[in-house]
Structure 1
Amino acid sequence: MTKFSTLLFFLAAATTAFSSPVPDVSGGDMSLSVMPMDTAVVDEANLDDVDALDSDDFETADVDEEDYEDYEEDEDFDLEFEDAEDDVDLEFEDDEEVDEEASLTRREVCNVGQPNTKVVDKVYAVARKRKVNAKVMLATFETAAIESNFNNLNCGDQDSVGVFQQRPSQGWGTVKQLMNVAYATNKFLDRAIPNDRANRGYTPGQLAQSVQISEFPDRYDTRKAQAQKLIAQAKARYSKKSKGKGKPKKNSKPKKSSGKAPKNLASGSAKGCKKYHTVKKGDTCAPLAKAGGVSLSKFLSLNKGLNSKCTNLQLGKAYCLKK
């Protein structure tokens, strides 16, 4: 072989070697020198041109995203929990404010003026009718003075109403009942009277407190002077009314007649009299004659149906008093 031919042979062999495919490494050993070379090429590309990198090459991106989502969930939970706590606190604070305002409102809406004379007199009359002693009477008046200043209130603290500010929720009665002054007074006395018997050493104010169970136990005796004054005034009015009503007089003043005989004219009595009188229980002849301005004998002559002793007056029958 000539030198030229030998040169051509080696050139052909070299060409064949470089153009051959990469051998299959699945079944045998492969030199590790190939991998570092490939990796080096990739690293160089990454360093030289960042824009050439595919986002899929960053395997940690998915992991970081999941971690962030977990954090967001935890953060949401914490925020919701904190919000819930805030809501609870706010609601609690609102409730406290509402209660305080409502309490103030309940106390302020009652316009308590001067003692109502009708209420004072009714309380006194009920207590007088039950024949209470002086201490129970004073305790009753001290209580009404403190609780309402003798005003029949339709409002008060909590559900309290009436002159004694009694509470339906505590078994005193219905609102309608407690707004009845007589009923309210009797309910107070129902407890005050036996409490007085069981505790003779109580002051009127202590007796009042034993009934009312107030959060201010010492205040009732502070109205002692006012209560005594109101009792004296009520007593005077009560006595005056009692005298005015009183018992019916035995001999009532006869009514003037028109001169015509009444339908209930007694047998034997004269017709056409100026005055007639219908007999009532307790009437007797002498006072009737005096009321007619005539003597007893004249009265008997005008009413011939009567006996000489005038013991047969008939109830409901009319007799002539003056002709």
Structure 2
Amino acid sequence: MTELLEAIMSARDRVLMLLILTIAVLLVTYIIYTISGRTGFIKYLPGLLLTGAGVYYLYRGLQQITTKAGLNELMSAMMFIVIGLVGVCFALILGIYHQGEGQKTKRRAQALDYLQEARSTEAVVYPDRKEAVAAVAANSAAGLTEAERIRLTEEQKAKEEQRLLAEEERRQQKEQELAAQNEQKEALRAQKEAQDKKRREEHETLLQKEEHRFLSEKESLLTQDAQRREEAKLQLLEKDLVRKNAIRDDVLAYNARAQEVNDKDDAGFMDRLQLFGKRLLIQLKKWHAAFAMQTGTGMAKVSAGIQKGTGLLALHTGHSYRRLMTRFEANKNVQTETKEKEKAADPKDKEPTA
């Protein structure tokens, strides 16, 4: 354990030294890279330095690993290898960056060449322009011969013709593509219209079916409702008729009972009245006999007159009561018959037919 700690401490010191050395190398390469302006061979110097340092560190690390030394040397070898790999990676990154810069420079030079060639072509094709004349003069001043200018002019004309032909072909191709697209759009639009028409027809058919079903259901519901109302009305009429019949039966029974009671009362009243008259006549006879015995013949005549008047009064009273009861019974019978006729004539009292 102690040896491992000592190895780690010694490896740490070596790692710190290596890191300081690596940072110093990176700073030097960065300064050289910025001061050089990235022109010429000197722009590759930072990458070369990083590559050399990385290869050196890798070599030292592999050398220490192959010597089969102790733990300290093994840790140092690993650190050397790691730092070497980092340096090589930085060198590769700088190389890729330089490659991209070189491609950009080449493309920029090609663009400048194309621009100069286009200006020369414009000067040949459009000689009326002052700028073109100036460009041709500049080219002439640069040392172009007449034959070269003629050759360039012919080449530019051929290129222009090719360009025009290519543009015409592209235009025709675009027109054909547009026509094909328009035909395809028309076909799609017609197909969509047919689908929409079919969908609308299906929708209309479905709406008609739903409306017919709704109307049929509504009609059936109305019919059922009317039937229920008629049944309810018939039930009410039957109940009312039963109630009226019951009331009529009760009234008839009550009238019959009242008639019987009245007949019994009338018979009893007449019997009592006759009995009262007889008793009164007997009592008067007794009074007459007693009074005749006391007063004599004159008083006997008076008593006979009183007795006769009393008998006539009783008889007259009985006949008057009989006439009154007879008239009352006749009026009651007439009213009962009238009510029965009215009930028979009333249509509400008739029994309903199914």
TM-score strictly above 0.5: no
For the pair shown, the structure with the greater C-alpha radius of gyration is 2
| Structure number with higher relative contact order (C-alpha < 8 Å, ≥ 6 residues apart) | 1
Give the alignment's TM-score, normalised by structure 1: 0.29
Which structure carries more helix by proportion?
A: 2
Give the alignment's TM-score, normalised by structure 2: 0.27
